[in-house]
Structure 1
Amino acid sequence: MGESVMRNSLKWLLSFLIVSQVHAFYIPGWSVKSYKEGEHIPLLVNKVYSDNTQLQYAYYDLPFVCPPTGKSHGPGLLSGQSISLNLGEVLRGDRIMTSDIDLTMGQDKECSFLCEQVVTRKDLRRAKELVREGYVVEWIVDNLPGATSFVTVDKSRKYYAAGFKLGFTDYSSSTGKPRYFLNNHHTIVIRYRSAPGRAGEKGGKVVVGFEVYTKSIGPNVKRENGCPVDLHEVEDRFELYMAPNKTTDFQTQYPHSSYHPEAIEEGDDDDTISIPYSYSVYFREDESIEWNRRWDLYFVNSEEGSRIHWLAIINSLIICGLLTGIVLMILAKTIRSDIKGYKEGSTLEDGKLRKGKSAKRSPKSEKAGLGLLERDGDVDKEVEVSSDDEALEDVTGWKLLHADVFRKPAYGHLLAPLVGSGMQLLFMAIGLVLLSAIGVLNPSFRGGFLSAGFGLFVFAGVFSGYFSARVYKTFDGKDFGKNALVTAFLFPGLLFGLVFILNLFVWAQASSTAIPFGTLIAIVLLWLCIQVPLVYLGSWYGFVRTGAWEHPTKTASIPRQVPNQAWYAKKLQSIFLAGLVPFAVIFIELLFVFQSVWQDKSGYYYVFGFLAVVLVILVLTVAEVTVVTIYIQLCSENYHWWWQSFFVGGGSAIWVFLYSIWYYFANLHISGFVSSMLFFVYSFMACCVYGLLTGTVGFLTAYAFVRRIYGAIKAD
C-alpha cells in the first residue's frame, strides 16, 4: 500500500512539474484589434502609484496635470470619458479614462502642445509630495501599459517595466539638499507590425509595444506653438519650486546658488505658476515581436528568478518527501503492527477466558470476555496477561482512547462554520491557480484575477454550506438553518467589516484605492442575494439529504482523564512547531508573491505553474504534518484533537504573518500611517484566509486518519 501511495504521489508531482514549464504561457486576449493607416488609437490614462505607499490616485484627479477637454476621438469616444471597469479593476484601484493625446497609426509627431496648466502653491506642494514618494504613471494603449524600457545586464535583451516616473529627485552639488523636478514632456513610441490573417492582407496593423520616455522642460525654455524650439538640447528642467512671497527673495540675494529653500511652503496659496505639457509620438515597425507574445517583454527580467523558483520546488519536495516517509512508516509499520499485535493479544486473551470458563471459574471472569478495548479493568485475577501485551499497551496508547476519541468538541458550533469557509476558500484557490496556470487569467485580462476570485468565492458558498452542515450534524447539531447563517456571515462578515473600516481611512485620503460606495453596495447584494442562498442550499443538502459522518466506535458516557503532556505535545507548542514545516515549504515562493504584491506593483506575478506545484506540495505537507502531530497526541492519551487538528493545519499562518512583519521592516519603505495600516490589515486578512484553508485541510485529513485507525481495530 505504501509503495502505491508513493507512486501515485510522484505521478501527481511530475505532472505539476510539467505544468510549471508553461509558466510564461498566457492567453493575451479574446480578439486581435487591428488598426488601419491613419486610424485613431485611443490613449487611456489610469492612475499613479508608488512602491513606497499603498495609496493610489486617479490620474485626472491630480490638480497639476492637464484636465480632459472633451475632445472627440471618433464616434462615441470623447476625452475624459470613463471606461467601464470590471469588479477586479475597481478593487485594484483602476480609474481608466480617455485622454486628449492624439495617436494616429503611422503618423509621427515630433512635438505637440497639450496644455499649459495653471497651478497654485498648494497644487505644487501636492506634486512635490508625489514625486518625493516615487509615484509612477500608468497609461494604456491597446490594453498595453506604457512601459519604461531597460536592457539586461549582458545587453542581450530588452525588457519593460510597466509605468513611467511622474518626476524625479536630484540633489544639489553644493548643499546635498534634494530638489524635485516634474516630467512635463512625454515621448511616446508605438511599436507595431502587420496584423495576422486577413486583416494584415488588407493593410491592418497591430500594436506590439508601448514605450514612454519622459523629460523635464523648464518654463524659461524658448517655445514655439507651446513646444520647445530645440527639444533635444533642452537643459533647463521644470523644478517644483515657487519663490516665497516676500519682499526679500532668496534668489535675489544669492542669484548663483543652485539650492532653493523650502519656499513652496511659504507665501499665499493663491499664488500661481504655469506648467507647460507637450508630447511626441513615433511609430516604429517591429516584426520581431509576435502579437501573442507582446507581453513577454514585461517578463524577460523576471525569468532570472526561474532558478530560485526551481530551488523552491526542490526544497519543498525534500521536506514533503521526508514527511511522506514518516507518514508511510506510521501507517505501514507502527499502526499496522499495533493493530496486528492487538488482534493477537485479543485472540490470546479470549482463548484464556474460554479456558477459564470451561474450568468453571468465578462469574467475575465473564467481564473479560468483552475484549481488550471494552473491558472496564475489573478482570479475574486468575487470568494472566503476558508481559508482551503490557508492553504493547504501553506503546500503543492511542488504542485506549477508543471510547473518547470521537467525543464532540467544545464550541463545535463554531468549528463547523470555519471548516465550511475553509472548503469555500480551498475551492476558490484551486480554481484561481488552475485558471492562471493554463493562461485564462493573465496580465492582459486586467482585473481578471480579482474578479474570478470573487466569483468563485461567492458560488463556492454551496460547498461551504455542505461541509459545514455535515460537520455540524456530526457534532449532534439540530438547527441547520442557524448553522447555515453563521457559516454565511461569520468569515465573509469579518472580511467585509475590515474592508469597510479600511475604506473609511482611504476615502479620507481621496485615493482611488478606496472602493466606491456603489461597488460596496453591489458586493453586499452579491453576498446577501447569491452567496447566502447558496450556503443555505448546501447546508440543507448536507444536513437533510446526506447526514452526519458515522463513527467506527461508540463514545463512553464518562470522559477519560487526560494525563500530563510532554512540552512538545502541548497545544501552543505543537501548533508553532508543526506550523514551521509548511512555512518552510512555501517561504521561497512567498518571497516572490510578497515582492509582486507589495513591492513591484508595476510588475506582474505570472509564474502560476510553479505556484500550482507549490500549492499541491503545501496541501500534502499540511496533511502529513497534521497526521503526525495528531498521532503523537493520541499516543499521549489526549483525545482533544478536533480543534487541535484545525489549529495545527493552520499553524503556518502565524509564521506567514511574522514573516510579513519582518518583510515590512526589512524590505519595504512604506511611509504614512494609512499605508502602514493597509499593509498590516491586508496581511492579517490574507493570513486568515490562508489559515482557514490549511486548517480545514488539516482537520479533514486528521478526521479521515482517526476514522481509519479506529475503524481498523474495530474490524476485529
Structure 2
Amino acid sequence: MDEKVKMMMRGWFAVVLLLVCTVISVRSDASDHKYKVGDSVPLYANKVGPFHNPSETYRYFDLPFCSPAHMKEKKEALGEVLNGDRLVSAPYKLDFLQDKDSEIVCKKTLTNKEVVQFRRAVIKDYYFQMYYDDLPIWGFLGKVEKEGKTDPNEYKYYLFKHLHFEIFYNKDRVIEINARTDPSARVDLTEDKEVDVEFMYSVKWKETNTPFEKRMEKYSQSSSLPHHLEIHWFSIINSCVTVLLLTGFLATILMRVLKNDFVKYAHDEETADDQEETGWKYIHGDVFRYPKYKSLFAAALGSGTQLFTLTVFIFILALVGVFYPYNRGALFTALVVIYALTSGIAGYTAAAFYCQLEGTNWVRNVLLTGSLFCGPLFLTFCFLNTVAIAYSATAALPFGTIVVIFLIWALVTSPLLVLGGIAGKNSRAEFQAPCRTTKYPREIPQLPWYRGTLPQMAMAGFLPFSAIYIELYYIFASVWGHRIYTIYSILFIVFIILLIVTAFITVALTYFQLAAEDHEWWWRSFLCGGSTGLFIYSYCLYYYYARSDMSGFMQTSFFFGYMACICYGFFLMLGTVGFRAALFFVRHIYHSIKCE
C-alpha cells in the first residue's frame, strides 16, 4: 500500500506541475510581439491609485481623463483579476516606429467637480499604470509645490497634461518603453474653477541591441544590485550561523544528555532501583496517549501538510523562472490552482492520522479539514471585498470571478478533499508507538511558569523568526509596495533554514518538556512550531507603522486582514513541521530503551 501511495504521489506531483505550468504560461496577449512599420501595438490603461497604498487602486477612467472613441476592455485571466488589473484601451496611439511630436489627445474643459477630483488625486500622490506590448509603464498625475513667498503653508496643485513616450526597439520587436511627464506642461488646479486642458503626448522611437528575450531583465535589476545582494547574503549568513549554533547546541548538549539518560536508565534496569524514577523514561506509559480534540489536531496537520506542499510547488515554479517580473497574475493563478489540486493531500493526511488515533467520525474530520484554513480566509475575503466595493476599488472582485472561484472550490477542491479523505480512511495504517499506553494518565507535576505553553511558544518562535526577519522586509516591500522580488534562490535557502530551525527548536523544547515529566507534548509541539507565524504578524505591526507610508481604512484593513490569513497559514504549516519533527524524535528515544 505504501509503495502504491508513493507512486500515486509522484504522479500527482508531476500532473500538478504540468497543469500549473500550462495554466500560467499562457501569454497575456495573443500577439507574437512582432510588428511591421505602422502596425498598431496594444496599449492598455490599467489603474490609478495612491502610490503608498498598493491595494487602493481604481480604474484608469474613474478619473476624468480623455477616453478613446471605442473603449475596449481586455479579457483577463483569473490571476490578473485577483491582482486588481482592469485593462482597457488607452487613448494614446503608439504605432510601431511612428514618431509623434505633441499630438493632441483631446481638448477638455474640467468642471469644478472634476478639478476637485484631480486635485485630490494629486494630493494623495496618485500614479497611473499602463501596459504597452505587455511592458509596464508608470507615471504620476501631477505634483504639489510649496509656495513660501507670502504664506509658508500655501500649496499649489498641478496636473501634468503632456506625456512623452520613449520606445526602444530591436528589428521588429518592442524592447523597452519609458514614459515621462513634461514638468513645464501643467495645469493649475489650486482653485475650484473650470479649467481648459489640452491633453497631449509625444512618441520617440530608438533602436537598441538588447535581444527580445532579455527585455524583462530591466525590471529585476533593482533586486539584483550589489548593495541589495550584500544584504541578502548577510541575511543568509546570519541565518546559517543561527542554524549552526542551534545544531551545535543539540549535538553537544542534547545528545550528551540523552546518552547519559540511556546509560542511567540501563543501569537502573540492572539494579532495579526505583527511587530514581524521574525523567522522560518514566512517563513512557503516557507519552503516546492521544491528544485532546484529536479531530481538530488531525485537521490542523492535514491543512498544514497541504500548505507545505503548496509552498514547495510555488518555490519550484519560481526557481524555474515562471514568476518573472510583471507576468501579470501568474502567482495568484498558481496559488489558486495548486491549492485546489493539492486539497486531496489535506484530506488524506487528516483522515489517515485521525483513523490512526482511533477516531470514528472521519467525515466530520474531513469537513473540518476543508474549512480550517478556507473558513477564516473566506470570512476575511467577504469583509475586505465589501470594503473594496464601498471604495469602488479594483480590488473588488467581479461577480463572474467569484463564481469561477466557487466552481473551482465546488468541482475541484471539495471532490479531491473527499477522495483524499476516503483514501486516508482506507489506508488501514496503525499508529506506531514503541510503548504501551497505560489505562490511567499520570499526574503532571507542578512546573514553573516559564515551562508553560505561552513562554515556550515565545522561545520557540523567536529563533526561527530571527533567521528570516531580514528577508521579510524585502518580501513585504514587494508584496505591499512597488519593489520587485526576483532572487528566489536566496528565498528558498532562507525557507529551508526556517524549516530546520523550527524542527530543531521544537525537538529541544519537547525533550525538556518530557524530562520534566509533562507528557502532554502533542499540542505543545504543534503550537511551538507554529508560533513563528505570530512573530511574523507582530512584524506586520512594526512594518506598517515604522517602515511604510500606508494609510487609510481600506489599505489598513487589507494589509492586516490578508496578512492575518498568511500568518495563520504559516502557523499551520510550521506547526505541522514542528510536530512531525517532535514525533520522530519521541519515537526514536523511546525505541532506544526498554519499556515495561
C-alpha deviation, 1:272, in angstroms: 4.4
146, 164, 167: which one aligns with 2:142: 167
Q: Aligned letter for 2:514?
A: L
Contact 1:425-1:693 at 8 Å conserved across structures: yes
Q: Aligned letter for 1:551?
A: A
SS in 2 for 1:713: coil
1:5 maps to what in 2? none
- How far, CA to CA, are the matches of 1:587 and 1:406 in structure 2? 35
C-alpha deviation, 1:559, in angstroms: 0.9
- How far, CA to CA, are the matches of 2:287 and 2:377 in structure 1? 34
1:123 maps to what in 2? 114
Contact 1:47-1:58 at 8 Å conserved across structures: yes
- How far, CA to CA, are the matches of 1:138 and 1:102 in structure 2? 16
Q: Aligned letter for 1:661?
A: L
2:168 maps to what in 1? 191
318, 321, 325: which one aligns with 2:241: 318
- How far, CA to CA, are the matches of 1:537 and 1:241 in structure 2? 64
Q: Aligned letter for 1:102?
A: K
Deviations 1:456-491 (A, max 9, x none): 111110111111112212322112111111111221
207, 217, 224: which one aligns with 1:285: 207
1:105-504 matches, within 5 Å, as 105-146=96-137, 163-174=138-149, 175-176=151-152, 177-194=154-171, 205-215=172-182, 235=184, 237-242=186-191, 264=192, 272-287=194-209, 289-302=210-223, 303=225, 304-329=227-252, 332-349=255-272, 385=273, 393-394=277-278, 397-504=279-386
SS in 2 for 1:476: coil
SS in 1 for 2:92: coil
Contact 2:506-2:525 at 8 Å conserved across structures: yes
Deviations 1:372-410 (A, max 9, x none): xxxxxxxxxxxxx3xxx856x54xx01111011111112
1:629 maps to what in 2? 509
Q: Aligned letter for 2:170?
A: R
The answer to whether structure 1 residue 711 and structure 2 residue 591 are counterparts is yes
The answer to whether structure 1 residue 567 and structure 2 residue 452 are counterparts is no
Contact 2:348-2:421 at 8 Å conserved across structures: yes
Deviations 1:15-37 (A, max 9, x none): xxxxxxxxxxxx99799622122
C-alpha deviation, 1:704, in angstroms: 1.5
Q: Is there any run of 5+ residues in structure 2 with no aligned partner, and where?
A: 1-24
Deviations 1:657-698 (A, max 9, x none): 111101111122222222212221122112111111111111
Higher helix share: 2
Q: Aligned letter for 1:553?
A: C
SS in 1 for 2:64: coil
Contact 2:56-2:554 at 8 Å conserved across structures: no
The TM-score, its normalising length taken from structure 1, stands at: 0.76
C-alpha deviation, 1:630, in angstroms: 0.7
C-alpha deviation, 1:62, in angstroms: 2.0
Q: What's the % identity of the aligned pairs? A: 33
C-alpha deviation, 1:109, in angstroms: 0.5
Tell me whether 661-670 or 60-69 shows the greater mean CA deviation: 60-69
- How far, CA to CA, are the matches of 1:314 and 1:46 in structure 2? 41
Aligned-residue Cα RMSD (Å) equals 2.1
The answer to whether structure 1 residue 610 and structure 2 residue 532 are counterparts is no
- How far, CA to CA, are the matches of 2:288 and 2:106 in structure 1? 75
Contact 1:470-1:549 at 8 Å conserved across structures: no
- How far, CA to CA, are the matches of 2:338 and 2:509 in structure 1? 32
SS in 2 for 1:545: coil
SS in 2 for 1:47: strand
Deviations 1:72-127 (A, max 9, x none): xxxxxxxx211121221111110011223111221110121111234332222222
SS in 1 for 2:566: helix
- How far, CA to CA, are the matches of 1:346 and 1:671 in structure 2? 67
Contact 1:191-1:207 at 8 Å conserved across structures: yes
Tell me whether 699-708 or 629-638 shows the greater mean CA deviation: 699-708
Contact 1:64-1:117 at 8 Å conserved across structures: no
390, 395, 404: which one aligns with 1:508: 390
Q: Aligned letter for 2:404?
A: A
The 1:714/1:37 distance shift into structure 2, 3 A limit, reads: farther
C-alpha deviation, 1:299, in angstroms: 2.7
SS in 1 for 2:102: strand
C-alpha deviation, 1:341, in angstroms: 3.4
The answer to whether structure 1 residue 689 and structure 2 residue 569 are counterparts is yes
Deviations 1:265-301 (A, max 9, x none): xxxxxx74433211101100011x2322222222323
Q: Aligned letter for 1:125?
A: V
SS in 1 for 2:571: helix
- How far, CA to CA, are the matches of 2:57 and 2:107 in structure 1? 22
Q: Aligned letter for 2:186?
A: R
Contact 2:284-2:595 at 8 Å conserved across structures: no
Contact 2:135-2:177 at 8 Å conserved across structures: yes
- How far, CA to CA, are the matches of 2:109 and 2:315 in structure 1? 48
SS in 2 for 1:169: strand
C-alpha deviation, 1:595, in angstroms: 1.3
Tell me whether 409-418 or 580-589 shows the greater mean CA deviation: 409-418
2:46 maps to what in 1? 46
2:69 maps to what in 1? 69
Tell me whether 489-498 or 49-58 shows the greater mean CA deviation: 49-58
SS in 2 for 1:443: coil
The 1:32/1:318 distance shift into structure 2, 3 A limit, reads: farther
Contact 1:116-1:277 at 8 Å conserved across structures: yes
1:643 maps to what in 2? 523
Deviations 1:510-561 (A, max 9, x none): 0001111221122122112211111111111112124342211121111111
C-alpha deviation, 1:52, in angstroms: 2.4
1:619 maps to what in 2? 499
- How far, CA to CA, are the matches of 1:424 and 1:236 in structure 2? 55
Deviations 1:38-72 (A, max 9, x none): 222121111113342244434443232111211xx
Contact 1:316-1:614 at 8 Å conserved across structures: yes
- How far, CA to CA, are the matches of 1:621 and 1:647 in structure 2? 15
- How far, CA to CA, are the matches of 1:415 and 1:500 in structure 2? 27
